[in-house]
Amino acid sequence: MNPVTLLPFIVLIGAMFLMTRSAKKKQAAAAQMRNEMQPGTGVRTIGGMYATVKELHDDTVVLEVAPGVHAIYAKNAIGAVLDDAEYNRIVHGDGDDIDGAIVPDDASSLTEAADADAPVEADADEDSSADAKIDLGKKADADEAEPKDVKADEKADGEADAK
């Protein structure tokens, strides 16, 4: 058999070997992380819930999800073991430093500053298009107009029946 025909199969087997090897490494690292948990450690579950470890068993772990509220989870449901600083920052909001400007709840202060910077024109008309109010109500003459009977006009031509 020609070695050139075997080359795609060899490459495919090599790629499969490398993929399974990296997956096994990730599983081993996750298992080691779960085995290093201790009571009092902050964790994040694979569902995204943050909790504190209360008790450890062989395949399960008891988590305190709120003060006085305990839940039993499988060890495989623990997505990440967090250090104390990160857990307190996420759950309790400790150490949140706001470096940027604080955005107000309403935008009025943002528009007032823009209006103060704009030049004031002395000859500005009060009824300019920007300040004019638009009447969205019905016109009085539209109410008085008689509705037109469209079907009667169409049938008079004789073309309304043919489609």
Q: What confidence tens digit (pLDDT) does each residue in 9-31 have?
A: 889 999 998 888 888 888 888 88
Region 83-98 average pLDDT: 78
The residues, any chain, with a CB within 8 Å of residue 41's CB and separated by 6 or more, are: 52, 53, 81, 82
For 9, what's the count of Cα atoms within 13 Å in the CB-facing half-sphere? 5
Phi, psi angles (nearest 5°) of residue 30: -65, -40
Tell me the per-residue pLDDT of 27-58, one tens digit each, with 9 for 90 and over: 888 888 888 888 998 999 999 999 999 999 98
Exposure string (b/e) for 33-47, b if CB count within 10 Å is 16 or more? ebeebeeebbbbbee
Return the DSSP state at 37: -
